Amino acid sequence: MLEALGLSGREEAAYQALLDRPAVTAAELRDLGASARTLAALQAKGLAVRLAGHPARYAAAPPEVALELLVRSREEELQRVRLDTLRLAERFRAAHRQDGAGGRDGVVETVEGPDAVRQRWNQIQRGARHEICVLDRPPYLTHANPVQPERHAQGIGYRVVYDTAALAVPGRLADIEAHIGQGEQARVASDVPVKMLLADDALGMISRRRPAAADSVLIIHDSSLLTALRALFESVWNRASPYSRLTGTPGGRSPLGGDDGRLLTLLAAGMTDEAIARQLGWHPRTVQRRVRRLMDQLGVRTRFQAGMHAQREGWL
């Protein structure tokens, strides 16, 4: 637990032993497995103090004081590392400011190849401090995003707009619902213009080619171009339809069952019967039959009216 503060395993064990006792001699501490060298290290780090009297006895320094000092010291070290990182980044950009031969001009850099793209994708997500925004559309290098659960657990928010073409990719619907279960805010649009990832207002990644390709991207650093990409994301987000699994009734959600709820979501996204059948593993005739039954249940005549009804009721 205290390794992050620079303590070795032996030092932490010795400190824990001291915490459980009002005072011990060096000999008693050795019996507990702590050497004189370990004791000296604890004293140097302010975690152990020598008490007056003979024989010499030692006690743990109060954790709320001693550990807080170590935390502050480590924070100061990390802040110096952050400043050094900024200086190193500027050196990197200065060395690669070219007219295009290297693919970097200080604002935009090119990354090619699936492994390199995947690495930068993960790095950018891990570097976010507040929020990650994504415009999502095929093709994909991989469906899974192993970094996202980790970042959700650390309090980083995700807002994602999925192109309807993404919903037609086999298995993608299950991935989306898993992300929503972790806390992602998801919406769907029929015209997502580009594959894009934004980490706060500091860094972005967009597909380099059109139509989009997964193995060639542009990295956009802090600039007016990044500001424009943020505005693009917010515009697409605002006109997209919220995605919901639509299961159960709590919170104003649809009273429809899970399958009908998913069907309504895909209908509202504008997907064809064939695409819905592939996604849900149904026969196209089954989709048509379920759609007709759903419209009768909702009292509407068209798919569009079904989507409007769902929006009006707050189910989407």
pLDDT at 104: 46
Averaged pLDDT for residues 203-213 = 83
Q: What is the pLDDT of residue 148?
A: 93
**Cα–Cα distance list, 246 to 54, 104, 261, 268, 297 (Å):** 73, 45, 5, 12, 16
Instruction: Map out the domains of the chain as residue ranges.
Output: 1-95, 108-242, 250-312
108-242 in CATH: which number? 3.30.870.10
Q: What pLDDT does residue 43 have? A: 86
**How much is the pLDDT for 105?**
52
**Comparing 17-26, 88-97, 107-116, 236-245, which segment has the lowest mean pLDDT?**
88-97
What is the phi-psi region of residue 57: left when phi exceeds 0, alpha when psi lies from -120 to 50, beta otherwise? Answer: beta
Mean predicted confidence (pLDDT) in 286-299: 84
Write down the architecture of domain 1-95 according to CATH.
Orthogonal Bundle (1.10)
Distance CA 234, CA 123 (A): 23
- Determine the pLDDT at residue 195: 92
- What pLDDT does residue 314 have? 61
Residue 236 has pLDDT above 90, yes or no: yes
Cα 108 from Cα 118, distance rounded (Å): 18
Percent of the chain at pLDDT above 70? 83
Chain-centroid distance of CA 198 in Å reads 11
With a cut of 90, say whether residue 213 has pLDDT above it: no
- Cα-Cα-Cα-Cα dihedral sign, residues 212, 217, 218, 219: positive
Q: How far apart are the first and last CA of the chain?
A: 44
Out of 185-189, 254-258, 307-311, the most confident range is 185-189
Per residue in 134-162, pLDDT (tens digit) is 999 988 887 778 899 999 999 999 999 99
Per-residue model confidence (pLDDT) at position 229: 93
The closest of 275, 245, 262 to 164, measured between CA atoms, is 275
Quick one: pLDDT at residue 90? 63
Task: Find the mean pLDDT for residues 251-259.
Answer: 54
Tell if the pTM clears 0.75, that is, is over it. Answer: no
- pLDDT, tens digit (0-9, with 9 covering 90-100), for 22-67: 888 888 878 877 788 888 888 888 888 888 888 888 888 888 878 8
Please tell me the predicted confidence (pLDDT) of residue 95. Answer: 64
Architecture of domain 250-312: Orthogonal Bundle (1.10)
Q: 204, 196 in Cβ contact below 8 A?
A: yes
Residue 279's identity, in one-letter code, is: Q
- pLDDT number for residue 99: 45
With bands split at pLDDT 50, 70 and 90, how would you rate the model's confidence at 75?
confident
> Same fold for the domain at 108-242 and the one at 250-312?
no
The reported pLDDT for the residue numbered 247 is: 35
Other residues' Cβ atoms within 10 Å of the Cβ of residue 73: 14
What integer best gives the mean pLDDT of the chain? Answer: 80
More confident residue, 254 or 237: 237
pLDDT attached to residue 174: 82
